[in-house]
Every structure is written in structure tokens, then in C-alpha cells.
Structure 1
């Protein structure tokens, strides 16, 4: 049994946990973006594929409009916690839910965006602290079962009636084992079972709908080395089916054209990239330290439009805050050869609805830039700390910065008239301000003489502040806490 688990295309690998994929198992934008370049990625968009609370109907409708205004043409519905997408994959949507799905498809069409639905009929791999139940195991698809296949086709038929013509058959993040009835049929070959089911669905649905297209999220969806699963897939899966790949890793700091070429050879087709940036679900479910990723897209080669079938970004749980990174993604996908992350980043923040002055929000975002694609903490803060450490007498630049961060919540609420965005970032904004208070206390402590009677009081205040910060799991700017701790004497 494997000793690594892929807990979500947006979740980090964890050692020692079973899992992977199996068959067993509204707000207008300030400006309208120009039309996408004709030479950009054929498929370019967003896949709502994270664990955690799915976006609301209103958030999705707004996001569809946003995508159409930012050079993107695709939205994939794949929230892990929609039961009708995974656990109840074979059940038709009730009338009220179906009406909402139809409204999404209609909004997508009016925005120039293709609406793709992901259906995941395998047995989900449990997250840490969770377990599979007999009911879940029973509900997982038997690939060779004609009854289960007809159930799958009936679900697709309902979705087509709602305006959906592209389906992604998803076997990501489910347990790697076949139902007992499938073991002998497929000689224990998981990829063979998946490919045959996908081929049957493609043939069946194209006979009913000439517009029908099928995408596939495989069990092994990242890496650069050949493996038995891919060996079967590249020969058995119909050439029309586009296949998902997340890069060398689940969360890939870099994705290059040479990597894409190698995977093209291994999959027998150009990969459809599922980019796990700026997704942050793993900071909740795995790390237990929720974090925002507000920096621009980085580390993607400038010619990947010629080496991939398309590009889909997995966003954060916070739909409004995700727009910062997603707007930079739209710029990259539209003109990758001239894309500049910092220029696109500033433009993205300036274009957010309800932002009268981008500077305070830009400051906040610069402390939330560290991510899987950007390993460095805020360099300007680091420079101020280094200058202070080189010259104890000159604490003014550092103190000025900390004063600014302490007052940032007030400044942002004065310059951002976007309540959803303010609500989404509030926990991290408050923590950043509290960290700044700790930094100021540390500076005050360091400037007191050893015999100063105020030192003990300052030391106790700082210790209390640091304990409070440690109890807050939301993570932003740990470099400020590190600095404060370095002066805690």
C-alpha cells in the first residue's frame, strides 16, 4: 500500500495515510478586460475543486462574470463537499438545486465561459481524522456494472438538460482499489477500469449529443516519471479525452514547458493543467493554520500555451480574495510571453471592486504573498529588520512600518468598500495588526536600559501578546513574530 496520500488536488501530500483515486470505491468589475489573445491558452479558467465550504450561488455567478472579464473562458464545477458531485454522484439533483445549476450554466454562456461539471464516483480518500463508512463504500461505482453506468449516464443526461455539455470524470482523491466485481474483469488494473468507463461514457454521450466532450482527472495526477497507471492510460484511453495534470507536484512551485512535454509523452496527449495556486484548503485541513495566498501567479514558463491543452486554477475558499491571484492568472494566460507578475499584481488590486485607494490593500497583500509559488517573506520588512540589527540606534524605519501595520485595519476599511472582501480578510488583517503591536512592544523593550523599572512590565506585555498570537491559528507574516521573539529577553 502506498505511504503517501493525495488529499485533494489542492491538499498537500501526507505520509502514512491511505488514499488517492479509485474506481471502488455580485459585483461588477471596475473595467472590462480586452478580448483574449487568439494565441493564448485554448482552455483558460478556474476549477472550484477545493475541500471545505463550497462557494455560494451568488459567489459563483459573480465569479463567472469575473472570468469573462479577465481573459478566461472556462469554469469547472468540482467542489469536494457538494454531495451530489461525490458521495451522491448517482443521485439526480433535486429541482431547486437543478435550477441553480441551470442558472450557472446560463450565466456562463452569457459571459463567454464554458461550464464544465466534474463528477467523482469513486470512494473518497478520507481526510485526517475521518474514516470511510460502509454506506460510502457501497455508493462507490462498480466500473463494469451496467446499472452503475446507466446511473452515471442518467446524471449526465440531467446536466445536459441544464445546459452542460462537457463533463470531467474525476477519479482524484479516492481510494486506490477496485470493487470486488471489477477485480476479475480488469485483472486488478485500476487504469484499465477507469479508461474503459471513460471510453464508454464518451461513446454513449456523443451518440446522444454531438457537442459532448469528456475530460478525465486520473488517479495519478502529478509527477514526471512513468508508472503503470499512465502506461495503461496512454494506450487505453480514447485520444479525444483530455487528462488533468498538476505539475511535478500537487502544489508545484514551477511548471515548465519541458515538464509538460515529458508528460505529453507519458500520457499520450498534451496535459490539461490543474494549477493548485492559489488554493488554500490544505492550510485548513492538513496544516490547521489557515492562510491566504494573495500574491500573483509565478513560476510558469512563458510558452506553456504551446505545450499544454489548457490551464485551470484551483482558487481559495475565499472567492473575493481569490480574484487578486486569478486576475494575474488571466493576464498570464492571455499574454504569457510578456506577463510581469508584479505589474499584473498591482493592476489586479487596483481593479478590485470597491477599492478607492489600493495602497493599504497592497501593503496587506505583500504580507500574504508567501505561498507554494513564492517562498520568500516580505523582503521590505526583512530589509528594515536587517538595518535595525546593524544599527540599534536607528529603529525609526522599522517602527514606522510597524505603526503602519498596526493601523492597517482602519486604513483598509476606509479605502475598501467591498464588504465581502473585508469579511474574508478580516481574521488575517487583525492578526497582522496584532503582530505589529508585538513588534512595537519588542522595540520598546529593547530600547530600555537593563535597570529601567519598565522593562519587566514590557516583557510581560510582550509575552502575553505572543501567547495570544500563538493561540490564533490564522497565519500571516510569521517574520514579524520571529523578530519580536528575538528581542524577548
Structure 2
């Protein structure tokens, strides 16, 4: 399932800090960004934490009855009666003792029905009483699942010491297929990670692993026709054996659609590849026709191929499972709903044994009854839900550690045949989400997202659970696309809403954030998991530090202490370009924590500058019809860096707009906008638009004529009073994202400065006089500016650059005679002008945020 097209990347690039995978051959000219339409609604996580009294079993059993007044002591071991001689290698978590408690394991239709087990694959009955432990499966998988339940009982805190409570369990899965599809773009999992995950699937009763990494060249173009090289073939054979040990079906998927020829030669190529994989041990196969263009998308040819393979290969072999297909129209967003559409053709002509994947209403989407009703009525069978979560190949700077939710708990096997989660390229870090998918797909009606997440945290990192929880609760949201709730226990505030209680609570949370990385490093036994998390943990700790410092700055700001004290601390807490690049590459806390920091620093900087200037500073805030226009992503339009950009993250539609709030009504005469991620051939822009302004945000006045296919928009005119300016989308067939690199209103220009300015980079030097603390000029030579009349001195708001010699400030007369020279020895530097001074000269390395004149 295509989540990213690097030719048309969906990621926000910050000075090249983010690394995008290579463009795979099978992608061709397929452009998913024109077909995404997530709503970006952030829905709260349902459920609540439960008290399990120390007994933790995942997935939640269908029926479990405790008799807690009695226990069975297995501390001295168990006496195994493996009636089918199948499970001795699956019991490494117990010790054996011929005199120990009896452990009886059996399976089969007759014995299972006698014990009341449901007549479906994977069901089992278990009892623990004075006679010992009895596990009876409907089939071998059922008995194996009963063993996994026993394993979790023994590992539970309440059974420490080997005393198991008497109980009865009657358990079975709700869905036929419960598993994982390795179907993301980007770096495929390593062999070790795959092996680790297969053990994880088995422990939590997942029964399917679909092998389909898009960047495996022998899975897709250009080499799907060729056999795997020896090393890769050996690895696949090992994966198959690991799956057998864990009673997981290994499904090998092929992705031939981008260059397949509907002829006998390619049919034979496909049969040959299937036979090679069969010889490696594969007994389950899938064909993916997703994310392709050209003749391979023909649904008639697709169904003819699938039906022929079912007859010639699946049925001929006799021991091969039914085929699974991912159609080209795998989402409702762009599927043809008519009887002539691909899905209807599948329903009318495709062999009923073939399972059909479906992602829902859009690419990343909740599992709802409505979407299943829609697709099932066309494909004439219960769909196989391909859930694009926790996949992050469209936001590779995010690592998702939040709860699994958005899955309807009233569904059953009449609505869908199964669910396959498409995880992150970080396999170990995906286990937290897969723990939830396992729970939901086994017992849908009892699924409790919050409780499952709490249990999952304990399962993955018991030695550092609280620190991991702190990291995970603030590492949930994608910012764009398929939004997830985050930081729901944390209340942030703006400076005008300060309370002492709010301050203390938030400071305690930032303190936990700051300490979490070290605690996780010390306590996480799974070093592979820690290695995956580490880049995010480093930035997470820094976020905790700057959040705490922002809170302390708020206290100083409110107290009205010495300006120098405030500015020195303030400028030290500003993120440098490098720090921001590092954070953007590994983001967390995007919904509340980082926005708190950004808003606090902006609010204090704005108020501080207003105090010093005695007038209203420049103010830019992003606004728009897209939900993420309210996030800190919109600040990328105002960072004076044309390599970064704000992106809508979802498809543009009628009435959409992106704009700027200037904070107050101003005279506007100059507007400059750069649309798209570049000005040459980018697709993410409004190709038919109108520039408008408004005083109140309700009544809008056009400033331009209709703008067609313009990346660069420049407007100059007579001053117009407005607080808001926006670029509004007009009628267009375009459904790509929208992106803006810069949105400037009344930008600082040399000709409007009012005095002479001379610097190595004159345009950049304007940032020292633009009445904004969000910009700065790094002087590394000499900056000279003329002193206007009535100015008696200056305040310099700076950040010193560490060099061998400090910067200096010189006062000069008109003829160039130097009147004075002093060292700039403070971040908050003031200077009074001597008589006859007409120029100020700043020499040396120093970052100038603002040079503020003080008038007579």
C-alpha cells in the first residue's frame, strides 16, 4: 500500500534534514498525494484503564471465569501429557517434573467439542483446578493459543511464586485473519527484526504475516520474474520455519502490476516464481495490484489471472491456501462505484475463495461498518481490512507509540474476514500497536484501547514502564494525514491564562519528559527497541528541557524583572537552526508540548518587543481551512527559508484557503507568496486561486484577479486596511495537497527602511530592523547603518556567536571619524549616542535579532 511517493514527497524538508527513501520502480507515475483525503479530525481515545488484579492476558479471552479462592501450585514443575506429541518445544516457560502438577494438552474436533470449544480454527478450552491444567484446542493452532494463555498467566504479577488461580476459559478468535502486512515503503525490516516479530505474533495469537516490502526488488519490479538469490532465499526459508513454530501463516506477496504483460510468457513467469517460492516452503500467496498505472490496472485481466492461478496452482497443489489480492481500487476515495467499476467486476467474476484487501474510505482510515458495507456489496464477500496504521512512511520523522483505536467494536466475521496492520519500518517500535491489533482482531466486542495500551507498555518495557509511558503518550500524532490523539492527560496554556497550579502541573510533566530518555536507556532490556527509539528520545529530552525553561521564563516575564535578565535567558532558550533541524527529523510532542513551547516563546517575545519599542511589533500567524493550519507547521511559511514549507497534508477541495493573521488591522500594500514545494513542476499548489483580504475575517475583499498556475504571487497596490490575508482556491480539478514556502505581507524592503543600511548581505540584514523576533541576521563582517533624527540610543537584542574575539560597536560621524568603540559584552546591549554621531557600525560575529531605536 503506497504511503509515500518520494518524487512527490509528502514530508516537510528542513534544510535537507529528513531522508526520503529512493523512488521504487513500481511507482511509475502513480501519484498518491492526489488521492489522499484524510479528514484530520483528532478523535479522543476511547476506553479506560482497568484493574486486572495482576492477571494479564492478551488478547482478552472471550470467556474467563476465576475461582480465586483456590490455586494450583506449579512451582515445582509440571508433568506434561502432550497427547499429540506436538508441543514440548512450545513450553520453555515451564519446568518439567514427573511429580509436578498435571499439564494435559490435546486437540481435535471431537475432544474440543466435548470440552465446549467453538468449532472454528484457533479455539480452545482451558481449565485449572485440583486435577491440574487442561488445554484442549479445536485444532493444533487452538491448543498452541491455549499454551500462550498459560504462558501469560505464569508471567503475570499475581502468579509470582508459581501459584495459578483456578479458572475456566473458553476462547476463540472473532476474525479468520489476524496479522501484519510488511507493505510499507522505505527500508524493509532486517532479518533479525522479522524473526523477533514472528515470535511476537505467536505469543499474542496473530496468525498471518504477509511478506510484501515494496522495496524488495524480487517482490516487485524489476525482478519479480526472477528467483531470489541464495542468501535472500535462505532468509525466507528461515522466516517460514519461524512462522511454523509460532503457528503463523507466512504469506508471500508479489507485486507485478507495473510492468506485467497480459500474455502467456508473463503468466509462465508468475507460475515459475510461485513454484520457486513453493519449493522454499511457502503455502500462502498474495498478489498486490496497488499503486500502479498502465495496463496492469485492468480489472478484467486481473480477475482472469487470479482465477487461472486458483485453478492451475492453488487447487492443483492441494496444500496451498486461497489467494489474497490487493486491488488497484483499494480505497473508496477513488474507486469507481458503478457496476462497471473494478470492485464490481471482482464481485461478479473473481473466484469466491479469493480474499480482497480494502483500506477503507481513504488510504489511512478508521474501520467502520459503513465502509465495509460499501465494499462488500461490490466484491460479494467480507473484505480483508488492510489498516495503514502504525505505518509512518508518509511521515518518517514521526514514531507512533499511541493507542490502537478507530476500529469499530461491533464488527464480526460477517463484515470482514480479517485485519492486517501495516506497521512502521521500525519493527520493534511497532509492537506496541500490534499488541492492540492482536487484541482487537481476537475479541472485537471487548476491545478497550486505553487499557490495552497500558498493558502493552508494561509488556514491552516493564523495567521502565512509566518513562516509556511518558514518551509514548506524547508520541502519537502524525500532524498531517491520519491524526491521532496525543498528550490527552496534559493541560497547556497561553501566558494570559497562567495559574500557579497549571504552571506546577506542566512543569512536573516537562520534568518527566526531560528525564525519560535516560530512564529508558537504563531500564529497557530490549536493546533493539531502544536503538529504534533513541533518535526520538534524544530530541524528546531536549523538548523537556526547553519546555521547563519556557515555563521559568514565563514567571520572569510576568514578574517584570530586569529586561537584561529576561532576554539573556530567552535567547538561550531559542532553538537554533541545527536544533530545529534535529527536532524536525525526529519529532514528538507535536500536539501540545512543542506548540506550548512555540506559543510561549512567541507570546513573550511579542510582548517583550512591544514594551521596548512602544508600538505593536510585526505579527504573523498561519490560518486556513485545513486543520493543521492551526499547528506549528504553518510557521514554516514565515521562517524566511524557501526550502521549507507548510503542507496541508490532505487533498485540497473546493473552498480551501491558506492565509495569515497579522494580529491587528494594518495598512497592507505589499504581498509576496511562494506556492508549492518548488516553483518549477510541483503539483501541491492552488492552480486556480484568488488573493483576498479582510478586517474581521468574515467579509473578504479581492485583491487580485484570478490567478492561474502561478507558483510565485506578487501583489503591490494602494494601502488597504486588513488584518487577514488569504489565498483562496477557486474551481479546479486538482486534488493534490497544498503547500506554501513563504507568505509575506509588507515584507521588509531596503527602499522602505527610511535610512541607509550597508552590510555583506543587505537583504538578510533587514531582519535586524523588521520588528520581529522570529527573524535574525548573523553578522560575520561589518554592518553599518545611518542614525535617523531624534534617535538618542539603541537597544541591541543579540545572541553572541562564540569566536576568538567579541563583536564591537562603533559610533561614527558623517565624515567617518570614529567617536567611540565598545565591546558588545551582553545579549541585551544598550548604547547611548554621542553628539554628532550619524552612523553606527557593528563589527564581528554576532547574531542580531533586533536593533531598536530609542527616541529623544
Pick from 211, 232, 237 the counterpart of residue 345 of structure 2.
Answer: 232
Q: Distance in 2 between matches of 1:29 and 1:339?
A: 29
CA shift for structure 1 position 296: 2.0
Residue number in structure 2 paired with 1:401: 509
Indicate yes or no: 2:587 matched with 1:475: yes
Q: Which runs of 5+ in 2 are unaligned?
A: 11-27, 33-90, 95-146, 151-169, 606-856
The aligned residue for residue 95 of structure 1 is 230
Aligned to 1:429: 537
Measured in 2, the distance between the counterparts of 1:305 and 1:164 equals: 29
SS in 1 for 2:324: strand
Could you report, residue by residue, the CA deviation over 1:69-94 in whole angstroms, capped at 9, with x for unpaired residues? 11210000000111100021000112
- Partner in structure 2 of residue 320 of structure 1: 428
> 1:467 Cα shift?
6.3
Whether contact under 8 Å (1:46, 1:312) holds in the other structure is yes
Distance 1:59 1:39, change over 3 A: closer
* Matched-pair contact (CA < 8 Å) for 1:37–1:335: no
Contact 1:44 1:72 in 2 (8 A): yes
Once the two structures are superposed, residues 401-448 of structure 1 have per-residue CA deviations (whole angstroms, 9 ceiling, x without a partner) of 112211111111122122111111111111111112221221222222
Where 1:395 maps in the other structure, the secondary structure is: helix
Is 1:67 matched up with 2:201? Answer: yes
Counterpart CA distance in 2 for 1:393 and 1:207 is: 69
CA distance in structure 2 between the aligned counterparts of 1:29 and 1:191, rounded to whole angstroms: 49
Structure 1: distance between partners of 2:31 and 2:246? 35
Relative to structure 1, is the Cα distance of residues 222 and 37 closer, same or farther in structure 2, using a 3 angstrom cutoff?
Answer: farther
Asked whether the 8 Å contact 1:441–1:461 carries over to 2, the reply is no
Q: Distance in 2 between matches of 1:269 and 1:411?
A: 49
Give the paired residue count: 441
Contact 2:539–2:582 (Cα < 8 Å) also in 1: no
2:279 equivalent in structure 1: 161
Separation of aligned partners in 2, 1:168 and 1:62:
23
TM-score (norm 1): 0.84
The answer on 1:178 being equivalent to 2:295 is yes
Correspondence for 1:417 among 519, 525, 535: 525
For 1:454, the equivalent position in structure 2 comes to 565
Runs of at least 5 residues in structure 1 that lack an aligned partner in the other structure: 1-5, 22-27, 124-139, 180-188, 285-289
Aligned counterpart, 1:45:
179
Distance in 2 separating the partners of 1:169 and 1:85: 10
Instruction: Please tell me whether residue 115 in structure 1 is matched to residue 250 in structure 2.
Output: yes
Structure with the larger helix share: 1
Equivalent residues of 1:52, 1:317 under 8 A apart: yes
Shift of 1:369: 2.0
In structure 2, do the counterparts of structure 1 residues 215 and 269 end up closer, same or farther at CA, with 3 Å as the change threshold? Answer: same
Distance in 1 of aligned mates of 2:469 and 2:488: 14
Q: 1:206 to 1:411 in 2, by over 3 A?
A: closer
Q: Secondary structure at the match of 2:181?
A: strand
| Range with bigger deviation, 266-275 or 230-239 | 230-239
**CA shift at 1:470, angstroms?**
4.6
Partner Cα distance (2:404, 2:547) in 1: 30
Which residue number in structure 1 is paired with residue 403 of structure 2?
A: 296
- Maintained 8 Å contact 2:347/2:378: yes
Question: Which of 241, 265, 270 is matched with 2:354 structurally?
Answer: 241
The residue that corresponds to 2:474 in the other structure is: 367
Question: Is it true that 1:80 corresponds to 2:80 in the alignment?
Answer: no
CA contact (8 A) 1:250 1:276 kept: yes
- Give the conservation status (yes or no) of the 8 Å contact 2:402–2:486: no
Cα gap change, 1:424/1:119 in structure 2, threshold over 3 Å: closer, same or farther? same
Please give the alpha-carbon distance, in whole angstroms, between the structure 2 residues aligned to 1:392 and 1:86.
59
Runs of 4+ in structure 1 off by over 6 angstroms are 9-14, 28-32
Q: Which has the higher strand share?
A: 2
- CA, structure 1 residues 262+435, in 2 after alignment: closer, same or farther (shift >3 Å)? same
Task: Give yes or no for contact 1:298–1:373 (8 Å, CA) kept in 2.
Answer: no
Give the Å deviation of 1:394: 5.6
Match for 1:191 among 263, 276, 299? 299
1:241 Cα deviation after fit: 0.9
Provide, for residues 222-244 of structure 1, a one-character-per-residue CA deviation record: whole Å limited to 9, x for no partner: 11761422222221222111111
SS in 2 for 1:115: strand
The alignment's TM-score, normalised by the length of structure 2, stands at: 0.49
Quote the residue 1:24 is aligned against.
none
Contact 1:20 1:219 in 2 (8 A): no
Q: How big is the shift at 1:384?
A: 4.6
2:381 equivalent to 1:269: yes
Q: Which of residues 346, 358, 361 is equivalent to 2:465?
A: 358
Residue 302 to residue 10, structure 1, CA distance change in 2 (3 Å): farther
Residues 261-319 of structure 1, C-alpha deviations (whole Å, 9 max, x = no match) = 221111121111111111111113xxxxx111111210111132321011111111111
Please, which of 324, 330, 335 is the counterpart of residue 215 of structure 1? 324
Q: Structure 1's 378 and 394: CA in aligned 2 closer, same or farther, altered over 3 A? A: closer
- Which moves more between the two structures, 341-350 or 387-396? 387-396
Deviations 1:312-348 (A, max 9, x none): 1111111111110101111111111111111111111
Q: Which residue matches 2:310?
A: 202
State how far apart, in whole Å, the 2-side matches of 1:105 and 1:393 are: 56
